[in-house]
């Protein structure tokens, strides 16, 4: 089991379901494009970013030329998987990335602007598909011709769009720039629809593409969202889960029951010192001592202890397992030599083999 981490993505935008407050013609032609030969330049960053080292975008193949321009094709291998789902694919391969991101390696903070109904916003390229979709209703304000001003907060429902956390700095990476995240919440979970205790529905556009399958779908009417633990939402994934005592006292981390990989093993995992909406997931699988990944999320320094495994019993022919793991067979198993006070039962090793059928 490898619980996934929700990380902030600097090119994720919540779709703005805005009706009745149109500020432009949705069928209007864009203002930008490569109508001249001027080449913009950007300050050289002090570090490599999520797209690697800074490079000259004009040395790459142009894209988005039938819309606003100002973007070029970056080879697929140079675009992290977490970002690939946010850019349009180029016809000849690779992804269509706005020039400011290429020229800075992604070490970039979008300029501030005034968006819908005077709301605070940031300038984002029209070549980003989510911006393209709402080009006609987003104001330009002080943004370049190939950009539009995306609000930090949806003016209709007061929900954070995530646009204003879409930045990367050399000092600390995405969002707030530190891990663990410090300061105000990046997103207030209470502004989002609830899905499970301690979890809320986050629009899929704010969820990294490679994490989508690890999160549960939200029920109607929020089917375009995923059920994400609040700790992930507040910090953009930059947090260290609390340490706890898991199966047979092994080191573990408190992770949300809203994660399908945790919920599916709820009967086997102890509550320990975790919050009511969490269970203690061991750092290592107690049966085969393999790393579960639970203690390597975000900036977790990793387990302080190595794998311990479960105690042996019955002269080595059995293994002490949690009573919950024995299920209906619990009454047929004895305590034998298992440590006291841990609610362990001695199960024959043959019962623990892959594919065993009682």
Indicate if 148 and 269 belong to the same structural domain: no
Q: Within a domain: residue 297?
A: yes
Say what the pLDDT of residue 295 is: 92
Closest listed residue to residue 82, CA positions, set 194, 136, 4: 4
Q: Residue 16, by phi and psi: left (phi above 0), alpha (psi -120 to 50) or beta?
A: beta
Instruction: Output the DSSP codes for 309-357.
Output: -PPEEGGGTEEEEEHHHHGGGGGGSB-TTPPTTS-EEEEEGGGGSTT--
Say what the pLDDT of residue 174 is: 53
Spatial neighbors of 130 by CB under 8 A, at least 6 apart, are 12, 13, 15, 86, 205
Q: Within a domain: residue 130?
A: yes
Q: Report which of residues 55 and 336 the model is more confident about.
A: 55
Question: Domain range holding 159?
Answer: 1-184
Q: What is the mean pLDDT of residues 224-241?
A: 87
Q: Within a domain: residue 71?
A: yes
Q: What is the mean pLDDT of residues 86-109?
A: 93
Indicate if 171 and 250 belong to the same structural domain: no
Burial of 83 (0-12, 13-18, 19+ CB in 10 A): buried
Q: Within a domain: residue 218?
A: no
Indicate if 30 and 99 belong to the same structural domain: yes
Q: Within a domain: residue 231?
A: no
Say what the pLDDT of residue 328 is: 62
Spatial neighbors of 244 by CB under 8 A, at least 6 apart, are 252, 253, 254, 270, 272, 273, 274, 280
Indicate if 139 and 91 belong to the same structural domain: yes
Q: What is the mean pLDDT of residues 269-290?
A: 91
Count: domains in the chain: 3
Q: Report which of residues 256 and 158 the model is more confident about.
A: 256
Indicate if 13 and 104 belong to the same structural domain: yes
Q: Within a domain: residue 224?
A: no
Share of the chain above pLDDT 90, in %: 35
Say what the pLDDT of residue 352 is: 64
Say what the pLDDT of residue 16 is: 29
Indicate if 13 and 122 belong to the same structural domain: yes
pLDDT in tens, 168-218: 777 645 554 567 777 677 778 888 899 999 999 987 766 766 678 889 999
CB 51 within 8 A of CB 84: no
Indicate if 48 and 153 belong to the same structural domain: yes
Share of the chain above pLDDT 70, in %: 77
pLDDT in tens, 10-51: 223 322 222 233 333 334 444 444 444 568 888 888 888 778
Is pLDDT at 96 greater than 80 in this prediction?
A: yes
Give the end of a domain, one of 159, 184, 209: 184
Distance separating alpha carbons of residues 131 and 343, to the nearest angstrom? 55
Indicate if 172 and 249 belong to the same structural domain: no
Task: Write down the H helix ranges in 217-309.
Answer: 230-235, 260-263
Q: What is the mean pLDDT of residues 346-357?
A: 62
Q: What is the mean pLDDT of residues 142-156?
A: 89
Indicate if 21 and 142 belong to the same structural domain: yes
Say what the pLDDT of residue 327 is: 62
Indicate if 169 and 295 belong to the same structural domain: no
CB 287 within 8 A of CB 268: no
Indicate if 297 and 150 belong to the same structural domain: no
Indicate if 175 and 265 belong to the same structural domain: no
Instruction: Report residue 230's pLDDT band, with 50, 70 and 90 as the boundaries.
Output: very high
């Amino acid at each position: 089991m490898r619980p996934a981490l929700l990380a902030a993505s600097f090119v994720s935008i919540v779709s703005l379901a805005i009706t009745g407050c149109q500020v432009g013609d949705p069928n209007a032609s864009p203002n930008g494009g490569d109508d001249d030969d001027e080449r913009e330049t950007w300050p050289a960053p002090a570090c490599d970013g999520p797209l690697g080292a800074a490079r000259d975008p004009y040395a790459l193949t142009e894209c988005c030329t039938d819309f606003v321009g100002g973007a070029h094709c970056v080879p697929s291998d140079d675009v992290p998987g977490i970002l690939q789902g946010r850019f349009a694919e180029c016809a000849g391969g690779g992804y269509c990335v706005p020039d400011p991101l290429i020229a800075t390696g992604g070490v970039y903070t979008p300029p501030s602007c005034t968006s819908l109904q005077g709301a605070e916003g940031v300038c984002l390229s029209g070549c980003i598909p989510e911006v393209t979709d709402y080009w006609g209703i987003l104001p330009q304000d002080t943004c370049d011709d190939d950009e539009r001003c995306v609000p930090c907060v949806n003016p209709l429902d007061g929900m954070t769009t995530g646009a204003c956390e879409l930045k990367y700095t050399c000092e600390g990476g995405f969002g707030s720039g530190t891990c663990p995240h410090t300061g105000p919440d990046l997103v207030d979970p209470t502004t989002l629809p609830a899905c499970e205790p301690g979890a809320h529905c986050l629009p899929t556009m704010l969820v990294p593409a490679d994490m989508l399958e690890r999160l549960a779908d939200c029920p109607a009417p929020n089917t375009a969202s995923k059920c994400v633990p609040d700790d992930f939402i507040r910090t953009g994934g930059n947090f260290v889960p609390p340490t706890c005592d898991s199966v047979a006292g092994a080191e573990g981390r408190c992770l949300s029951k809203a994660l399908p990989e945790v919920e599916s093993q709820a009967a086997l995992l102890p509550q320990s010192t975790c919050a009511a909406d969490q269970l203690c997931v061991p750092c290592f699988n107690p049966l085969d001592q393999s790393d579960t990944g639970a203690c390597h999320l975000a900036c977790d320094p990793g387990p302080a202890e190595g794998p311990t495994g479960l105690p042996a019993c019955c002269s080595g022919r059995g293994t002490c397992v949690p009573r919950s793991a024995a299920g209906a067979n619990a009454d047929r198993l004895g305590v034998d030599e298992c440590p006291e006070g841990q609610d362990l039962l001695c199960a024959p090793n043959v019962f623990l083999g892959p594919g065993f059928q009682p």
